[in-house]
Every structure is written in structure tokens, then in C-alpha cells.
Structure 1
């Protein structure tokens, strides 16, 4: 009945655990939900007011398929201002979230058997979207001891004549790994030196404004301008501006690729909501102090949880450089037995056990790295302390 690629699709592990958590909450159970990657802050007031003005003034008609002129101009200025990437509105595409931009890029370029290189752990949707279009995931191994950072030699070995895309996400979901300009420059050297020159690079910068410890943000098209005709830089307003429900993502890349993606979008959804586009333009053009302040709050929460987790024996949690996730190594707890006699055979079993104990997390196997778990710390200090208490108690009870 269904096509082979669709029949192979799995349900999102994030959404599965989020739904199980919602069921537990509806049943009246006390659960600290750390599953979804959604900021707990409200959308900035001036952004909401811009959306209201758009409705009142009648900005409710069709826009160009690849985004309103005003929004694409704002995005082009943002790339120049924040990333030193020169571009024009014609180099920009706007979609219903970054996910749609990625979907259209893969649909426009992938042939069956093309390889998509993705460092693990990775956001599950990269692999699923690639497979929907005949692409083959080629997972690139990383180590918690190296902060889950891809090593240049690993990338060099992985590139073949079948490589069509390399995906780089920094700061990363789920690990929070944030690449420095020097690390990106090392990747650029590998790309330049490879005898295989026909692949593209998808750079997902959705967590650009959530970088910690005073570190400057860097992106590949900035540090390697000679490679810009091979780079699609994807971003959006969901994480930095707490606009997940507004569904606005965007991309900047080679004109031919942007044109192909626009043709696809014409047949999918015409364009992103005109009101959401007006709000996104206000977010990019307006004051950024609130974004910076929220980043400081996320850094405080990261440090809070790291201190608490460091006190839990055998729980190894690398220090992330950005985003709002921790990705602890829980392999030491697998194979143990819960107080009710259930064997914790894998990370999914551990996530189920922790949910029963009042903490909802996502198993690392859903991100291509079994034996780990992901926790979102986009919640209050009190909830984080409660989660840490419950996690410590639950792990100590395993025998």
C-alpha cells in the first residue's frame, strides 16, 4: 500500500516519549518533562505585536513562494550582520520551519543510493528525511570524551564518490556540541582536499544564539567563503526567539539550489503563513537583548544540572557548548535490574524506567547513539533540581 521509503519510516523517538509523557501527566502522575526541545520563554512581546499589526493591516494574502520580500531582506541583513555572509533576497528561501527547508533541499538533490554524512549523535529527522528521498545515512562516529565533536580524519575517511551531503549542526541537537572557527576550518580543509568534489554541505545553525561561556559563534560559510557555492546554511526563529509554533525557518545557499527548492515548495504548501513571516521579520529586525539574556539563563541551567549530575556516580555527562540539552552516557547502568525486577537492557528501557520514576527523557538510540539519553533543560530551576533528585535516586536504585 505504501511506498518503500515511507514504509521504512519510524516514529520520532522524541515524539514517542513526549506522547508517553503527556499520557502520564493526564493520568495525574508527577513527571518532569525533559523530552521536547522547546524554549519555555514566551515569544517576545514586540514580535507578537507585529503579528497583530499584520492582521489588522491586512497582511493576510499570498506572499511569494520563497518568502515575503520584507522577510527575505531581513534575513539577508541578518546573515551579513551576524555571520559576514553576503547574500541577497534571491539567495534566500523561507519554509515552515527549518525542517521543511531541509526536506526540500534533500528532495531537490538526492538520488537513490546517495550518501548523507551525519555525525552521531544527530537529530533524528536528518536521517529520516534523507531516507524518504532514497538517501543512505552514513553515520560518523564521535566520542563523549571529545565532547561528541566530529574529527577531521573521520570525515576524510567517510567521503566517497557516493557522498551527496555532509550535515553539520552546531550547536548540536542532541549533544550541545558547538564547533569553533578553527574546527570548522579543519573541516573545510578536508572538503577542499577531497578528490570527491560533487557533494554539498548542509549547515544547521538553528541554535546559533544559544552559545555559552562567551564563545563566539562560527558557521562554515563564514570561515570558508570559497566553499559558499556548496553550502546551504539553515536557520530559523524557533529556538532563539521562542517561536516554535510560528513555523518559520529559512536557508541561504547557491542560487540554483534555492530556485529548485522554491519550485518544490510551490507544490507543497505555497508559502509560510504571511502573519508568521511578519512576526519573524520583527524578530530579526528588532532588539536582541532578550535573546542574549535568555542565553545566559540557559547557561545557568546547564551549569546547575552539570553540578548535580557530577555528583551521581558513573553518570558521565560531557559539557555542552550551546543549545539546551545534555546527552549523558548511561552505558554503566544498562544490564542492571530495577527494584521491581525488570532488566534495563537498553537505553529505551532506561528511559521507560525513568519515566516511571518521574523524569521524562529521550533514549540516545533515537539519535544514532545507543547507550545515552537526551535531556532538555528548557524549564525552571526548581524543576531541574527535582529532575536531578529523581534521576539520582532512580539510578542508585538499580542493582
Structure 2
């Protein structure tokens, strides 16, 4: 009991139940679209999903066999080094094992890279359209995302001049993704060299996401920034993984490569956060990166065929403008000409409105450009079967021709 003059205890019922930093995170738009599409399919609707960036192929048999063998090996039943299995860290990279950290997927590598080098208030230049996770990873690290927007007129490629215009005294990092998610754009050697030299000149770190490096078309040759500009290597972190190239999205193995002191710090963080990555998954990844690329070539040929079909069909739809992607497995058409108009009684004020109408009326799931920082676009992943792809884009085109 308290006397009448005492102050009652402060109520905590009005306080948020989650931290501000976690409460501010937005749901992954691509996974949300994929989840919605799967829920509708489970309810009996014939939805075709272009949302998730996930190869429709099974993991190659040799990789699965390596994992099966690893399950029976007692070495893999125990803890292993937090930075990853020594064999995988020394599996053919032209860097020392001490410069490699194995992570729980490429997304984990991205988060770890930002957490390791970004301090509160540091600005990160973010070429846009950008993958949905980048701003969240930057913000969680205390950084400030600074979008640098490119559009279809430049093939979604930013210039050195744009980067320089966005640079301030607080700029610490530039994020690059080539081939790009969501646009499929590929940075050529000349541009990556110019950007790398600009970064060196101004003492800016570069985090370069190369998870789609093997999925390129039309003679495109993606070049890693520290290879094109060796003097950048001391301020560059490369993130990558097995998910896209080897159809291993569920295996959750990625890595980051960087200067020894940065990788040591990142490994220290991981030792407290997750410890090591699953040993069985690491053994499978070792087989993937050290084995032949025959299965990868077959998948790339299929993606290339689907890419050309997708671009051709989208470009035939009135009001849709679709640049030809040169990498990854995404098309990123502009639908700006369709906005502000009506579709079956609904005004299309945004590409999010359009994506919702497409899902409802055409039973096709696409991701609106708002998710990638550029309203007025749609992202379609063509990592799905040829028949579903043609059926889905046909449905999309039939519906969009009704826009008045």
C-alpha cells in the first residue's frame, strides 16, 4: 500500500512491445507477394506468381549427394569455426581464407557487412531501383540510405556524376549490385572501373553484391569491383552465395570477402549472433563452388529463353516499356503510362494499385516498383516454368489492354 501523497508507479502498458528499430522494419515485399500468391493457390485460385526470385530447378544431384554424405560424417555433428569450414573458405577464391566469412545465406552477408563498417549517421549511397532488403540492413546498422535513382533511359545504370552529386562529408559506403535485382542491369568494365576509382579517390567503402554473377546474357561480362580496381580492395566487401547460381535458396549459405581486419570483426560478430553455418549445408556449398558448372549452364540457357519471351510479350502490351535485362532473372518494365487511369472501375494511382488489380483480376502476382524505391514499375521474376510464364504474361497483357 502507498499513502495518498505518494506517486503511483508509471504504467508501461502504453509502451511499444517491440524496439523502435525492429518495429520500423517493413516486411519483405517480394516474400509478401509470394506468400499471398501461395495462399491464393492453396485456396484453389490458379494464381501464377512472378514475385519470388527463386529458381524453379532442383538443386543439382551431386550437391544433394554431398549433403547426404555429410550427414553421415561425425565431423559435421559438432561445432565448427564461426567463420566457416576451412575447406569452404579456401575453395578457389583468389583471396586468403582469413578474408572470407561464411554466412547464413547472402542476405545474412549483406546485414553483416553493413553492421561491421557502418556507424550511426553514416550515409550509404544506394543506386535505385534497389533490392528491398538493402535499406533495412543499412538502417538497422544505424546508417542513412541515400537513394541515387536511375531509370530505363540509362538501362537503370547510375553514373559517376550522379554519385558525386549525392556525396556528402557523411558518405561512407556505396552499395553496388551487378547483375541487379530488380532490374537485371549489368555494370560493364568501363563503368565499374570509373565508379571504383571515384570511390578510391574519396575514401568511400564499396559493398558489392555479386550473387547473380553467373546469370548473364548477350555477351555481358560482369566484373568484380576489386578486380577492376585493385587499389579498391582494402575498402571493399564482396557478398555472394550459392542460392541463385546453384538453385540452393533453401540451403542458406553465403559469404563475404573483404580485408582481414574487417572479416575478423565480422566473424567476431557472427560468433555471438549465430555461431557457424550448418556444416551439412556448407559441405553442399563446397561441392557447388568446386564442381563443374554444367547444371548452371543449363539453367542459364533456360533463363535466357524465358528472358527473351518475357521482354517480347511485355513490350507488346500498350503502355508498358520493358528494357532488356542482361543479367539475373528479372524484368523491370515501366507502367507509368498506365497510371492515373481506370481498370474495371478502379483508379490506378500507383503501381501498387496496379499490382493489386493484376492479382485480383488476372490472378497474376507481380511486385510493384514501390518495393524497390521507384514507383511506376513492376518486377517480374522469370524464374518459373515456360508454360506458366507465357500463360501469366498473356493474362497480364489481356487485363492491361482494358486500362482506359
Structure 1 length-normalised TM: 0.95
Q: Aligned residue for 2:245?
A: 240
* Contact 1:118-1:168 at 8 Å conserved across structures: yes
SS of residue in 2 equivalent to 1:160 = coil
How far, CA to CA, are the matches of 1:286 and 1:112 in structure 2?
42
Does residue 402 of structure 2 align to residue 397 of structure 1?
yes
CA shift for structure 1 position 200? 1.1
Does residue 389 of structure 2 align to residue 384 of structure 1?
yes
How far, CA to CA, are the matches of 2:19 and 2:170 in structure 1?
23
How far, CA to CA, are the matches of 2:232 and 2:222 in structure 1?
18
SS of residue in 2 equivalent to 1:244 = coil
Q: Aligned residue for 2:90?
A: 73
Of 37, 48, 57, which residue of structure 2 is paired with 1:21?
37
* Contact 1:5-1:134 at 8 Å conserved across structures: no
Of 28, 32, 39, which residue of structure 2 is paired with 1:12?
28
CA shift for structure 1 position 214? 2.3
Of 254, 257, 260, which residue of structure 2 is paired with 1:255?
260
Q: Aligned residue for 2:4?
A: none
Q: Aligned residue for 2:217?
A: 212
Does residue 168 of structure 2 align to residue 152 of structure 1?
no
How far, CA to CA, are the matches of 2:22 and 2:247 in structure 1?
31
* Contact 1:5-1:133 at 8 Å conserved across structures: no
Superposed CA RMSD in Å reads: 1.1
CA shift for structure 1 position 111? 1.8
Structure 1 portions without partners, runs of 5+: 81-86
Q: Aligned residue for 1:127?
A: 135
Q: Aligned residue for 2:54?
A: 38
CA shift for structure 1 position 222? 0.8
CA shift for structure 1 position 103? 1.1
How far, CA to CA, are the matches of 2:24 and 2:124 in structure 1?
17
Aligned length: 386
How far, CA to CA, are the matches of 1:115 and 1:3 in structure 2?
22
Q: Aligned residue for 1:170?
A: 178
Q: Aligned residue for 1:84?
A: none
Instruction: Map 1:289-304 to 2 at 5 A.
Output: 289-304=294-309
How far, CA to CA, are the matches of 1:368 and 1:383 in structure 2?
28
SS of residue in 2 equivalent to 1:217 = coil
